[in-house]
Structure 1
Amino acid sequence: MMSGLVNSVTKLYNGFASVLNRLQSPLLLAIRLYWGYQFMQDGWGKLTHLDKVTDFFTNLNLPAPHMTALAVALIELCGGFLFTFGIASRLTSLVLFVNMTMAYLSVPDDRVNFSHIFSKPEDFYGASPYTYWFAALLILILGPGVFAVDTLLKRWIGTRGEPAHTVS
């Protein structure tokens, strides 16, 4: 009797997990679409107001503030585009993740919030770079999902007689 109950619960749980597993790629797509668009918007905003961003970076004592502002704007604009469509997803996510880590570390209030990651997590996740940082981290670790240009390219390369992945 008990083993039948355990088997039933296990089967129910496995079915539930299977349904959730099918939602992984749509979730990753939603993250990429939403946050990729946000990255693009922020990059475009910085690019079209480069003088204000340069002044802000000057006040933060960042090196070469104009070039840094231009680089950050282009990283967010172009990286956001690549992130949205799942192109070079993990490399793009790494660049965006590092960019947002630097955003945390460059602004004095956010630097303090970053240092509170374990002691006062509400400060850490309440800081403005957090959601961008976390979205980039998720795609960096989990990949873009099946609804991505990267996945299409892997399938296309795999159908040309070359293995899509090799197992060592």
Structure 2
Amino acid sequence: MLRSIATKPFLSDFGILILRVVTGTLLIHHGYEKLANIENFADAFVRPLHLPFPILLSYVAAFSEVIGSWLLITGFLTRFGALAIMGTISVAIYHAIITAGFNIYLLELLGLYFGAAVAILAVGPGLFAIDELIVRRFSSELEREQSGTIDTVVSEGGAA
């Protein structure tokens, strides 16, 4: 009894839904802010890292946050969205450490976004996601095709 309360999943798909929607909703505005003033973002965050093509990389960061957030919120291509967010946040963590050291006030929010993206990447989107609807749709068609193939093979094999 104690084990089922303490360690068994309890509404895990609902918890993943909450994690996806909250993370995506809170992160999406960062991408829109970058797009609103891409030059400023490039000057403040990309050029100090001496990366090539700072404007292009700024757009990549902004769109990975915006598109990745929408993918998390909707649950469509969820793991790709989580991977895009994880990549962008990794660079942001690197930037924060290089420019300010291990400043917990700069790293805590980045760490939470990174942890959420890693968790979603590892666990998947859960049942309340468009990905799940797509998988259900195609897996039922695939099962019908496979059972039809098996029935055909069995009936042909039995006739021989």
- Asked if 1:92 is matched to 2:85, the reply is no
Alpha carbons of structure 1 residues 159 and 63: separation in structure 2 relative to 1, 3 Å: same
Alpha carbons of structure 1 residues 22 and 152: separation in structure 2 relative to 1, 3 Å: farther
- Asked if 1:65 is matched to 2:54, the reply is yes
What are the within-5 Å matches in structure 2 for residues 53-132 of structure 1?
A: 53-56=41-44, 57-107=46-96, 108-109=98-99, 112-113=101-102, 123=104, 126-132=107-113
Shift of 1:97: 1.0
- Asked if 1:43 is matched to 2:41, the reply is no
Q: Which residue of 1 aligns with 2:121?
A: 140
Shift of 1:45: 1.0
What are the within-5 Å matches in structure 2 for residues 155-166 of structure 1?
A: 155-162=136-143
For residues 126 and 68 of structure 1, the distance between their equivalents in structure 2, rounded to whole angstroms, comes to 21
* TM-score of the two chains, using structure 2 as the length reference: 0.77
Q: Gapped runs of 5+ residues in structure 2?
A: 145-160
RMSD: 2.4
One-letter amino acid of the counterpart of residue 22, structure 1: F
Alpha carbons of structure 1 residues 41 and 124: separation in structure 2 relative to 1, 3 Å: closer
Per-residue displacement from partner, 1:44-69 (whole Å, max 9, x unpaired)?
11111212102112233232111111
Shift of 1:128: 3.5
Range 43-52 or range 20-29, more displaced: 20-29
One-letter amino acid of the counterpart of residue 144, structure 1: P
- 2:2 corresponds, among 4, 8, 13, to 13
Whose Rg is larger?
Answer: 2
- 2:18 corresponds, among 18, 23, 30, to 30
| Paired residues, number | 142
Bigger share in helix: 2
One-letter amino acid of the counterpart of residue 29, structure 2: Q
